[in-house]
Amino acid sequence: MRKWQLQEAKARLSEVVKSTEKEGPQEITVRGKAAAVLVSAPEYRRLRETKPSFLAFLRDSPLRGTRLEIRRDRSAVRDVKI
């Protein structure tokens, strides 16, 4: 990720935007510390889209209703020296 100082990013905004489209996210710093990250519009939409909950994911699974046979190892636990 390329870093831009705020003053440079303001002066060269069109270049920063083009770099975002070609190279990916661009970091903007203020006094040497990260202040913002510029991402492309498609990447922003992808990040903002709602994702199904884990429960919805399980409900929609093609394996729903499959009988799952789980066997536990009933052997004795090992000795641990403290």
Domains of the chain: 2-50 (3.40.1620.10)
Mean residue pLDDT across the chain = 92
Query: With bands split at pLDDT 50, 70 and 90, how would you rate the model's confidence at 12?
Result: very high
Whether residue 79 has pLDDT greater than 90: no
Whether residue 67 has pLDDT greater than 90: no
Which residue, among 6, 73, 71, 2, has the nearest Cα to 33 in the 3D structure?
6
Which residue, among 10, 38, 8, 45, has the nearest Cα to 24 in the 3D structure?
38
What is the per-residue pLDDT for 35? Answer: 98
**Matching residue, tokens 């004795």:** 76
Comparing 16 with 76, the larger pLDDT belongs to 16
Whether residue 26 has pLDDT greater than 90: yes
